[in-house]
Amino acid sequence: MTINKSSFKKLYTRLQSVQSNVFMSINVEMINLYWNIGQYLTMQLSNSVWGDKTVAELADFIQQKYPEIKGFNRRGLYRVKQFYETYSSAKFVSLPMAQIQEIDNQNNKIVSLPMTQFKGNAIGFRIIKYNSKA
């Protein structure tokens, strides 16, 4: 009995494809998580509901309850807040072609990648900076 090794290659290619999709999904969910936490922290801190000590207490709480989760120390939480604040005012555009007429008067846009335009709330984007010349 001879084994057709090309079928092994097909299976390997499929495994690589699924693995890539899994990593992409994880990255999308992590960006969504950072966005939501950053938005929550921004609202709590800007409304003077929380102070710097409360953010440190949240970081300690996360560390105690979920020691396996890394990156949510005090500094990490402030970086997540900064991520949200940096991109929350950017304009989201679904198709790059929609920007052609506005290139000369727009500074920053976040453009969804074509493959993510058909998914629900998934965030898949790249940042495009335009140099506006006045």
Query: Which pLDDT tens digit goes with each residue over 9-58?
Result: 889 999 999 999 999 999 999 999 999 999 999 999 998 888 889 999 99
- The structure tokens listed for 131 are 């140099």
- Check: CB of residue 33 under 8 Å from CB of residue 72: no
Number of continuous H segments (helices) and E segments (strands) in the chain: 3, 3
Query: Which pLDDT tens digit goes with each residue over 56-100?
Result: 999 999 999 999 999 999 999 999 999 999 988 877 666 666 555
Query: Which pLDDT tens digit goes with each residue over 26-40?
Result: 999 999 999 999 999
Per-residue model confidence (pLDDT) at position 57: 95
> What band does 122 get if pLDDT is binned at 50, 70 and 90?
very low
pTM listed for this prediction: 0.61
Q: Is the pLDDT of residue 119 over 50?
A: no
> What band does 5 get if pLDDT is binned at 50, 70 and 90?
confident
